[in-house]
Amino acid sequence: MESKHKLGLIGKNISYSFSKNYFEQKFKKKNLTEYSYEIFDIQEIEEIERIFSDTNIFGLNVTIPYKEKVIQYLDELSDEAEKIGAVNCIAIVDGKRKGYNTDAFGFEKTLAAHQKSHHQSALILGDGGAAKAVQYVLNKRQIPFKTISRKSELNFDNIDAHIVSEHTLIIHCTPVGTFPNVEDCVRFPFEALTKQHLVIDLIYNPECTQFLIKAAENGAKTVNGLYMLEQQAEKAWEIWSFQKK
């Protein structure tokens, strides 16, 4: 029997995703037998129109690489999603599609749990949708930061030990090192890390990326992306539940 209330995840090469199991467990606990969660692994963003044509879908998560591209298909954005310029959660009510960003909520919860008083300036590695949510949170908390990407002035080829020593909060927002490519790692002067550094990797699969392993070997405190993922998922559920009432 086809489910009356559908949720799902839109992304590319996302068979490893945590979301399906997470929400299916939630349905079980709450005895929501008419709910289902599907993985929509699409090669091009245009395929989203086919997904939206299913009138039983009332909510979607969005992951790499569509957090920015999906915006053009939406009718409305929450304040955060508009300011961030990236969407990872969609609620569909009466055919209207509204985009939210719950990554910011999840990252802020993670940061609040681990940040110490000496973590006063940050390096953000990457410039995609997740990095934009991190930038939003750092701005909100008045933490100055520099962004490092392949194309930025400060990039993976010229980042040096001096810059790393000056920024005690490092947030890795690129997909490099995600399952199944677990041996991959961005170029980074790990030797400049100390026990004063907090290194957060937004990847959750594997639990310990090469980036975190190398950071820990140099004394840094390390945190992966699982808590952020759980928190953003809970926030998404709150949004969808509110819309369903």
Beta strand extents in the chain (DSSP E only):
5-11, 35-41, 57-62, 76-77, 89-93, 96-100, 122-125, 145-148, 169-172, 198-201, 221-223
Return the half-sphere exposure (C-beta side, CA atoms, 13 A cut-off) of residue 56: 13
Please tell me whether residue 40 adopts helix, strand or coil conformation.
strand
Burial environment of residue 28 by CB neighbours within 10 A (0 to 12, 13 to 18, 19 or more):
exposed
Catalytic residues, by residue number, are 67
- Report the C-alpha gap between 25 and 45 in whole angstroms: 28
For residues 38 and 142, what is the distance between their CA atoms, to the nearest angstrom? 38
Residue pair 228/106 in contact (Cβ under 8 Å)? The answer is: yes
Measured CA angle at 44 (ends 47, 39), to 5 deg: 65
